[in-house]
Amino acid sequence: MEAAHKKEERKSVFSDYDYSNFYYGAGDDPVNLLGPFREWYQEAKPNGYYLYSEPLSSAPATHVQVRNGKTGAVHDLLNLASYNYLGISYREEVKQAAIEAVNKYGLGASGSPILSGTFDIHEELAREVASFKAKDAAILFPTGYSANVGFISSIMRSGDTIFCDQYSHASIVDGAILAKSKTVFFRHNNPLDLERKLGGVRGKKLVVVEGVYSMDGDVCVLPEIVDVAKRHGARVLIDEAHSTFLFGANGRGVAEHFGLDQEVDFHLGTFSKSLGGQGGFVCGGRDLIDYVNAFGRSRFFSCNLAPPLVAGLRAGLAIVEGEPELRAKLWSNVAYMRRRFAEEGIDIGKSTSQVMPVLVNNDAKVFAVAEKIQDRGLYLQPVTYPAVPKHKSRLRISVSAAHTEEDLEQAVRVIASVLREEGICR
């Protein structure tokens, strides 16, 4: 009986707390939170948190080898978790380009982009990205995170105001913090609230939105946001991390999709999603790019992108431009999944993109659901508070053009069966 009581007490350590409880803590020693966090994490990990960061031992293709974080066994799983939306990262021509670049340049750039780290292929990739986005120029960053942090802090200052969607990616928020600007959050995808908050604000104003929001898979209501921003004299930055190379007639992104390429002032994207590589970029006029080159600290205080990676990205971009049917296949797969989820009564919220949240809406059950799904052959991760609001837990799915209809049907059937068994859907 006493043992059972202790077990119950230990369980409550896990269930009563979450990551948010270990962020803040006053006291006289910066390591005071380590002990309580360790105690919690020791319980949280076997209860489901082990599902995060399970190591892969294969390419992020549609099927992956994953080492189970609890048992250590390696399993072949159907991959619904990678960002590799067009299946480009492991294409033969991409790998070959990287191999050739290794032979020519070696491993790394060995320098800052403003000193010795810029190679000919960096300039070529920047030119090709600018051409693809139909802009005058582009500038490369080591990661998408670095692109937001570096770009926002390069153009905004103390005394300015940045208006961010409440669901903004951490890189946008951190960019605003680094800029030391006043930061105002508007309700998610809500132009009316943005309008209310822009009212009466003087000085330099920047509105930051994302083409596709990564936790909900919904698309920015860009026409309304741009209209409000312009009426209040604010500039607009769109982060198209999850939408560049996918949306729009030419794959330029959500701004192109809405015919607002010219109205949006600043265009940012990443190479880690649809190209399956790494890095970020900003596109715009020559003056803008020269200015960001001078003041984008996250960029020039980092080593430049590794040349083999850049070579692979160039090959990937060539595939995107040469094979528009890849985008068509992706949207066909997205439509298939949306239809099948609807038929099975599975709630994917407001998603209209390749990012689909399967809403579990039960923080206590989401890890058990995710474990069961992995046991039945699917690789995906649960998302829970504080990454999303309390009781809005979900399984996040990334659909790829590389998935076959058989892959997708298998995924739907496994997810539906587990959700029914757990009473999440009927």
- In angstroms, give the least distance from the CB of 281 to another protein: 25
The pair of three-digit structure tokens given for residue 339, joined into one six-digit string = 């239809």
Q: Which is nearer to another protein, 254 or 369 (CB)?
A: 369
User: DSSP letters along 87-142, please?
Assistant: S-TT-HHHHHHHHHHHHHH-S---S-TTTT---HHHHHHHHHHHHHTT-SEEEEES
Does position 327 interact with another protein (CB under 8 A)? The reply is: no
Task: Give the residue from 185, 237, 176 showing the smallest Cα distance to 211.
Answer: 237
The stretch near another protein (CB under 8 A) out of 25-33, 83-91, 104-112, 226-234 is 25-33
Which range, of 241-249, 268-276, 338-346, 388-396, touches another protein by CB under 8 A?
A: 388-396
Q: Which two tokens stand for residue 85?
A: 């939306």
Whole-number Å distance between alpha carbons of 121 and 315: 11
Q: Which is nearer to another protein, 32 or 42 (CB)?
A: 32
Give the whole-angstrom CA distance, residue 372 versus residue 350.
25
Judged on CB neighbours under 10 Å (0-12, 13-18, 19+), 246 is buried
Interaction of residue 69 with another protein, rule CB under 8 A: no
State the virtual CA torsion across 53, 55, 60, 61 in degrees, nearest 10: -120
Q: How far is CA 417 from CA 166, 346, 373, 420, 425, in A?
A: 34, 11, 9, 5, 9
The residues pairing with 204 across neighbouring beta strands, listed in sequence order, are none
* Candidate residues 7, 10, 11, 32; the one interacting with another protein per rule CB under 8 A: 32
Calculate ∠ Cα 14-16-17, nearest 5°.
75
Among 24, 71, 322, 406, interactor with another protein by CB under 8 A: 24
Query: Binding segment for another protein among 70-78, 297-305, 340-348, 384-392 (CB under 8 A)?
Result: 384-392
387 binds another protein (CB under 8 A): no
Question: Rounded CA gap, 397 and 215, in Å?
Answer: 10
Q: Is 4 in the site for another protein (CB under 8 A)?
A: no
Q: Applying CB under 8 A, does 5 fall inside the site for another protein?
A: no
Of 9 and 92, which has the nearer Cβ to another protein? 9
Determine the Cα–Cα distance for residues 324 and 299; give it in Å rounded to an integer. Answer: 31
Pick one of 185, 291, 331, 336: the residue that binds another protein (CB under 8 A).
Answer: 185
Positions 249 through 308 that interact with another protein (CB under 8 A): none
Binding of another protein at residue 200 (CB under 8 A)? no
Footprint of another protein on residues 110-169 (CB under 8 A)? 164, 166
Q: Are 131 and 138 in contact (CB under 8 A)?
A: no
Q: Does 377 sit near another protein (CB under 8 A)?
A: no
From 59-67, 109-117, 132-140, 181-189, span contacting another protein (CB under 8 A): 181-189
Q: Considering only residues 19, 21, 204, 410, which one is a binding residue for another protein as defined by CB under 8 A?
A: 21
Binding-site size, another protein (CB under 8 A) = 27
182 binds another protein (CB under 8 A): yes
Q: Is 176 in the site for another protein (CB under 8 A)?
A: yes
Contact between 234 and another protein (CB under 8 A)? no
Q: Where are the alpha helices (DSSP H) in 258-404?
A: 286-295, 297-300, 307-322, 325-343, 366-375
Candidates 74, 102, 177, 318; binder of another protein (CB under 8 A) is: 177
Radius of gyration of the chain (CA): 22
Residues that bind another protein (CB under 8 A): 16-17, 21-22, 24-27, 29, 32-33, 35-36, 164, 166, 173, 176-177, 182-185, 385, 389-392
